[in-house]
Amino acid sequence: MREVLLRLEELLFLAAPEIRVVSVQDDREVIQVGVRCRTAGARCPGCGSWSGRVHGSYLRFPADLPVAGRRVVLRLRVRRFTCEDVSCGRRTFVEQVAGLTRRYSQRTERMRSVLAEVGLALAGRAGARLADVLGARASRNTVLRLVDALPEPQPRIPRVVGVDEYAMRKGRVYGTVLVDVETRRPVDLLPDREAGTLAAWLTEHPGIEVVCRDRAPFFAEGANIGAPTAVQVADRFHLWRNLGEAAERCVSRHRPCLRATFADSVPEKAPAPAESGSPWPTGHRFADRTRAKHATVHALLAAGHSRRSVQRQLGMTYRTVQRMADAARPEDLFQGQWQNRRTKLDDFKPYLHERLDPLGRDQGAWLYRRLWSRPRPPPAVSHIPDGTGSPSTVPTHGRRMDPDSPRHTAGERAPEAEIRPLRLPRTGCPHRARPRVREDAHPTPG
Ligand SMILES: [Zn+2]
Ligand SMILES: [Zn+2]
């Protein structure tokens, strides 16, 4: 029997040679391994002096890694020693097995590190479920606590660092996030977006060659002070955003010119004559749906159901039920986008309705690509503001419809055919005829 236990010692506790296995109990669910420490004494954690005076002993039951899918619990007898150094604040202390136990822990060190790895991969709830399957039972909070107790990883100092702000409270409190651009991982968070804080961080991390930032003056100043030798570049996202904003401002200034250019080329459609006081004749998809909902809500209310009950039964928001209930006629709900305004989409509507998925699946991006690939109506009505919407419609509309991110777009160039219609208003603008007038210096009309 002793031979078997010796073999177990080698197998299970190779990294802790001071452990001696004294018994093994198997009660089907849990394997209990009785162990004790074979050293004569222990070192006091308070003063570091060695003591062999045993004060007492008790049993601990730390969970260990499972064996063959079954849970293993150590039955560890630990001794409490008396510290013999009179100047030491501790009177007694309990021995710990290096690499196996720690104070207060209900798990061995190797069990803790395995659970922490599971937690890093899967986080709390899923991690706890997997650990249970593997025979290492732990609650989700325990898994998260073990991840939390891991030492902070020390990231290497990046060569190219990206600097941008992040919101702790949008519009009020901002901090600075630093990203290693090469590994695309965040490196550090700074509590504010001051030049001094960034400069201090850069000074503490010498060796940064490139600072990639937006055009905020505090980042420029911080980078100049903290890393004077580093090259500063504007990142692609901010370049595109600045360009977009400049284009929007430009279009906004030239709005009267655009209106004048296209006033005669776009025949303004008169809104459909209202029959029976409703701008939406029966047979219109949205109008019919609203009429049906309105009727259902009012029928339920008339049957004595409360608004809350109607909300639950129809799966609507309370606000929608309220609006439906307050409207005497469904036509009262046709406001805002319901008015018969002319939109850029009007020319494409028959084409889109033909191809809309009857199941209502999201296929906006697909339809958009199809629109581009089909023969187009004259450019004046398709891709240029026709003077009926606000100037901000152009970028907003594009943002909603464009399936590509600026990152993708940056690598591509629009085909000449798509650029040409956009050039038209610039050449048609009377202000452009003046020589060497900068966009910024353009007189604001009106
Ligand atoms: Zn001591
Ligand atoms: Zn102009």
Quote the distance between the C-alpha of residue 138 and its chain's center: 28
3-state secondary structure of 110: helix
Residues 296 and 358 both lie in one domain: no
Say how many Å lie between the CA of residue 414 and the centre of ligand 2. 24
At what angle are helices 318-326 and 285-302 packed, to 10 degrees?
A: 90
Residue bearing tokens 């029959």: 275
Which ligand is closest to the CA of 47, given by its number?
A: 1
Say how many Å lie between the CA of residue 427 and the centre of ligand 1. 89
Q: Taking a C-beta distance cutoff of 8 angstroms, is the pair 354, 391 a contact? A: no
Say how many Å lie between the CA of residue 438 and the centre of ligand 1. 80
> Has residue 408 got a pLDDT over 70?
no
In a domain, 365, yes or no: yes
Residue bearing tokens 């919407």: 389
Q: How far apart are CA 429 and CA 257, in angstroms?
A: 6
- Give the residue-averaged pLDDT of 52-71: 91
- Give the residue-averaged pLDDT of 388-414: 42
Q: Taking a C-beta distance cutoff of 8 angstroms, is the pair 352, 345 a contact? A: yes
Can you give the pLDDT at residue 153?
78
Which ligand is closest to the CA of 90, given by its number?
A: 1
Can you give the pLDDT at residue 164?
92
Work out the pLDDT band at 148, boundaries 50, 70, 90. Answer: very high
In a domain, 256, yes or no: no
DSSP 36-101: EE--S-EE-TTT--EE--EEEEEEE--EEEEETTEEEEEEEEEEEEE---TT-S-SEEE---TTT-
Ranked by mean pLDDT, which of 304-313, 396-405, 429-438 comes out on top?
A: 304-313
Q: Taking a C-beta distance cutoff of 8 angstroms, is the pair 168, 174 a contact? A: yes
Residues 186 and 94 both lie in one domain: no
Can you give the pLDDT at residue 230?
92
DSSP 9-22: HHHH-TT-TTEEEE
Which ligand is closest to the CA of 428, given by its number?
A: 2
Say how many Å lie between the CA of residue 239 and the centre of ligand 2. 25
Q: How far apart are CA 18 and CA 111, in angstroms?
A: 19
At what angle are helices 416-428 and 255-263 packed, to 10 degrees?
A: 100
Work out the pLDDT band at 6, boundaries 50, 70, 90. Answer: confident
Residues 386 and 442 both lie in one domain: yes
Say how many Å lie between the CA of residue 263 and the centre of ligand 2. 15
Beta bridge partners of 165: 176
Can you give the pLDDT at residue 57?
94
Residues 351 and 436 both lie in one domain: yes
Say how many Å lie between the CA of residue 256 and the centre of ligand 2. 7
Residues 24 and 78 both lie in one domain: yes
Q: How far apart are CA 88 and CA 86, in angstroms?
A: 5
> Has residue 399 got a pLDDT over 50?
no
Q: Which residues lie near ion ligand 2 (Cβ < 5 Å)?
A: 254, 257, 429, 431
Residues 441 and 367 both lie in one domain: yes
> Has residue 147 got a pLDDT over 90?
yes
Which ligand is closest to the CA of 252, given by its number?
A: 2
Q: Mark residue 278 as left, alpha or beta (left: phi above 0; alpha: psi -120 to 50; beta: remaining).
A: beta
- Burial per residue of 99-131, b for 16 or more beta-carbon CB atoms within 10 angstroms, e otherwise: ebbeeebebbbebbebbbebbeebebeebbeeb
Residue ranges making up the domain that contains 51:
2-106
Tokens of residue 17, six digits: 């040679």
Helices of type H across 104-194:
109-134, 140-148
Of 173, 204, 234, which residue constitutes the final position of a domain?
Answer: 234
Which ligand is closest to the CA of 51, given by its number?
A: 1
> Has residue 401 got a pLDDT over 70?
no
Q: How far apart are CA 337 and CA 334, in angstroms?
A: 8
Say how many Å lie between the CA of residue 55 and the centre of ligand 1. 14
Ranked by mean pLDDT, which of 308-312, 365-369, 404-408 comes out on top?
A: 308-312
- Give the residue-averaged pLDDT of 136-159: 89
Say how many Å lie between the CA of residue 94 and the centre of ligand 1. 11
More confident residue, 1 or 78: 78
Say how many Å lie between the CA of residue 369 and the centre of ligand 2. 32
Beta bridge partners of 198: none
Q: For position 174, which CATH number holds? A: 3.30.420.10
Q: Which residues lie near ion ligand 1 (Cβ < 5 Å)?
A: 44, 46-47, 83, 85, 88, 90
More confident residue, 282 or 217: 217
Say how many Å lie between the CA of residue 75 and the centre of ligand 1. 27
- Give the residue-averaged pLDDT of 168-176: 90
Helix (H) / strand (E) containing 252: helix 236-253
Say how many Å lie between the CA of residue 84 and the centre of ligand 1. 7
> Has residue 200 got a pLDDT over 60?
yes
Which ligand is closest to the CA of 85, given by its number?
A: 1
3-state secondary structure of 234: strand
Say how many Å lie between the CA of residue 103 and the centre of ligand 1. 16
Of 106, 123, 147, which residue constitutes the final position of a domain?
Answer: 106
Residues 348 and 332 both lie in one domain: no
Work out the pLDDT band at 400, boundaries 50, 70, 90. Answer: very low
ipTM confidence: 0.55
Residues 32 and 89 both lie in one domain: yes
Can you give the pLDDT at residue 7?
82
In a domain, 277, yes or no: no
Beta bridge partners of 60: 76
> Looking at this protein, which amino acid is placed at residue 439?
E
Say how many Å lie between the CA of residue 406 and the centre of ligand 1. 64
> Has residue 412 got a pLDDT over 50?
no
> Has residue 64 got a pLDDT over 60?
yes
In a domain, 154, yes or no: no
Q: How far apart are CA 37 and CA 123, in angstroms?
A: 35
Say how many Å lie between the CA of residue 96 and the centre of ligand 1. 14
Can you give the pLDDT at residue 375?
63
> Has residue 42 got a pLDDT over 60?
yes
- Give the residue-averaged pLDDT of 29-55: 91
Residues 434 and 367 both lie in one domain: yes
In a domain, 124, yes or no: no
Lowest model confidence (mean pLDDT) among 179-183, 261-265, 336-340: 336-340
Say how many Å lie between the CA of residue 250 and the centre of ligand 2. 9
Q: How far apart are CA 17 and CA 4, in angstroms?
A: 16
Tokens of residue 228, six digits: 């004077």
Work out the pLDDT band at 80, boundaries 50, 70, 90. Answer: very high
In a domain, 267, yes or no: no
In a domain, 39, yes or no: yes
Q: How far apart are the first and last CA of the chain?
A: 102
Can you give the pLDDT at residue 315?
87
Count of domains observed in the chain: 4
In a domain, 204, yes or no: yes
Lowest model confidence (mean pLDDT) among 43-47, 48-52, 215-219: 215-219
Residues 13 and 101 both lie in one domain: yes
> Has residue 126 got a pLDDT over 90?
yes
Residues 400 and 384 both lie in one domain: yes
